[in-house]
Structure 1
Amino acid sequence: MKPPSIPIEQASTKQDILEHLLRQGQASAIELAESLDISPQAIRRHLKDLETEGLIQHSAEHAAGMGRPQHIYQLSSKGRDRFPDRYNQFAVSFLDTLIETVGEDQVDQVLHKQWQRKGIEYRNQLGNGTLQERLEKLVLLRRSEGYVAEWYAVETNGQPSFIFTEYNCAIAHVAESFPSVCGHELEMFGAALNCTVERTHWMVDGEHRCGYLVRANS
């Protein structure tokens, strides 16, 4: 028997909920309803479905001045796996084998060269526009590779700067065992954009995103 099809509108709304939780880390039903401009009743139906599917989970949180706790929702491991994560435990095992074979320093040099190559590849695609234009192109490139990425303008010490954020990591499993790769990735962003890039948030530290402060070289 063929399973019933899911209306496109419902599938789209559920994906919007998952992406919102990916970006924000957690949210209540009311916050989701307001953000997505959907009725609280409809949001709760979608949340119930997503929780039944094992894609989200909730915890009870007492709001100030209120006796009844509200549910705070976040992605489960299964829900986070819905977003691209190209490297799995095979990559970690492969790196372990390389370290046993040629040594940690040699492997680190290879990883560094790989990120340098990626930085040059990006830089050639970004062109010679303004820093904002180059960052816009980088975000589009990362999105085409499966990242949930965004940017926005800020001001630091009177100088225009930008925050660049990614909410999923294609090398998450590798970074957990070899956090040095994140340092190489940070250097890669700086080389690709030809600017100063500083880390502001890091998934390896338990945060729900990786964030970077991007500013012109002084």
Structure 2
Amino acid sequence: MKNVGEAQEAPMGAPQEELATGIRSDRSTRNRVARSILDHGPSTVADLAGRLGLTQAAVRRHLDALVADDVVVAREQRVYGARTRGRPAKVFALTDCGRDAFDQSYDKLAADAIRWIQERPGGDEAVVAFARARIAAQAEAYRAAVEGAPPGGRTAALAKALSADGYAATARSAPLPQQGEQLCQHHCPVAHVAEQFPQLCEAETEMFSQLLGTHVQRLATIAHGDGVCTTFIPQSNVKYSKNTPKTDTNASARTAGRNPA
């Protein structure tokens, strides 16, 4: 991740050691700002200042540098319900470049391997089978967490388990008039591959449905160009069952709308 303009912040004539210390400090703080956006999704200056214990002026200074480096981008915050007076707050989200700074996946190798599978007998069906087999192995680690949680805490338990795998996931109440929860993944280690092979997203959505024992709907995906992968989990009295039918996720994965954050 670049760090534009750091050297200019030190006073003229500062000793070389002091200058280097200031640059390291700025780099560390700038990375904390970017990491906070990764973990929590698009954020306002006030959000970041509160989470990081910084002044809003300091946050703005670091965000200006991150915007200049194409690590974050500013956009208007989406507002639900009655709009209050004044312009909506500005939020800052990671760009693809910013996500790449945290992503150590071998994207090209993975994409080449899946493409090789697709070109063999079975074609797209073979890719779907691969995606489901891959996600089934992950699901075993999540199943114990979900089944061990109370009915009202299963989405949060799944989010915690996903975070342990690098997805920086959170659970929150869905905005009205929806009745239910949203599972938000602020990072996707395979986003660049999933952009080419949406079967990965579809298999993951199926897995969420099976683990939570209810129909779920994918609203947005990072692979589709959204800021956060968002899955809607409606309120349900359906108990978890290994025999719960798989949800039809193909349409929702392909037509995901923009993330509300």
TM class, shorter-length: 0.7 to 0.9
Indicate how the Cα distance of structure 1 residues 132 and 72 shifts in structure 2: closer, same or farther if over 3 A, else same: closer
Encode CA deviations 1:151-187: one digit per residue, 9 max, x unaligned. Answer: 113488896x211101111221221111122111101
Are residue 95 (structure 1) and residue 108 (structure 2) matched? no
Whether the 8 Å CA contact 1:149–1:166 is kept in 2: the answer is yes
Letter of the 1:199 partner, please give it: R
Match of 2:144 in 1: 124
Give the letter aligned to residue 100 of structure 1: E
More strand by share: 1
- Aligned mates of 2:104, 2:209 — CA distance in 1: 23
- Residue 19 of structure 1 is matched in structure 2 by 36
Count of paired positions: 206
How does 1:118-157 map onto structure 2 within 5 Å?
A: 118-154=138-174
Q: CA RMSD in A?
A: 3.7
1:138 partner letter: L
Tell me, yes or no, if structure 1 residue 46 matches structure 2 residue 62.
yes
Cα distance in 1 for residues equivalent to 2:201 and 2:157: 21
Distance in 1, matches of 2:219 and 2:71, equals 28
* CA distance 1:95–1:15, change in 2 (3 Å): same
**Match for residue 232 of structure 2?**
213
Report the Cα distance in structure 1 between the residues aligned to 2:129 and 2:111, rounded to whole angstroms.
16
Residue 119 of structure 1, CA deviation: 2.4
TM-score by length of 2: 0.63
Distance 1:42 1:194, change over 3 A: same
Matched AA of 1:47: L
C-alpha displacement at 1:52, in angstroms? 5.6
What SS does the aligned partner of 2:116 have? helix
Q: What stretches of structure 1 of length at least 5 have no aligned partner?
A: 60-64
Distance 1:33 1:153 in 2: 21
Moved over 6 A (4+): 155-158
Between the aligned partners of 1:151 and 1:200, the Cα distance in structure 2 is 14
* Cα offset, 1:74, TM superposition: 4.2
**8 A contact 2:146–2:158 mirrored in 1:** yes
Per the alignment, residue 105 of structure 2 pairs with 86
Mapped to 1, the partners of 2:209 and 2:129 lie a distance apart of 18
CA distance 1:158–1:35, change in 2 (3 Å): closer
Find the counterpart in structure 2 of residue 7 from structure 1: 25
Task: Sort the Cα spacing of 1:24 and 1:136 in 2 relative to 1 into closer, same or farther, 3 A.
Answer: closer
Deviation at 1:15, TM superposition (A): 1.6
Instruction: Please report how far the alpha carbon of residue 127 of structure 1 lies from its aligned counterpart in structure 2 after TM superposition.
Output: 2.5
Pick 1 or 2: higher relative contact order, CA cutoff 8 A, min separation 6.
1
Matched residues in 2 for 1:163 and 1:97: separation? 35
Percent identical among aligned pairs is 23
Structure 2: distance between partners of 1:74 and 1:139: 20
Give the conservation status (yes or no) of the 8 Å contact 2:184–2:230: yes
Q: Look up the match of 2:129.
A: 109
Q: 1:47 to 1:196 in 2, by over 3 A?
A: same
* AA at the equivalent of 1:126: V
Work out whether residues 18 and 79 of structure 1, in 8 Å CA contact, stay in contact via their aligned partners in 2: no
Partners of 1:18 and 1:151 in 2: CA distance: 18
Q: Which whole-Å deviations, capped at 9, do the CAs of 1:1-49 have from their partners, x for residues lacking one?
A: 98934339x7346523553377454x6xxx4146524434322322244
Q: Which residue of 1 aligns with 2:184?
A: 165
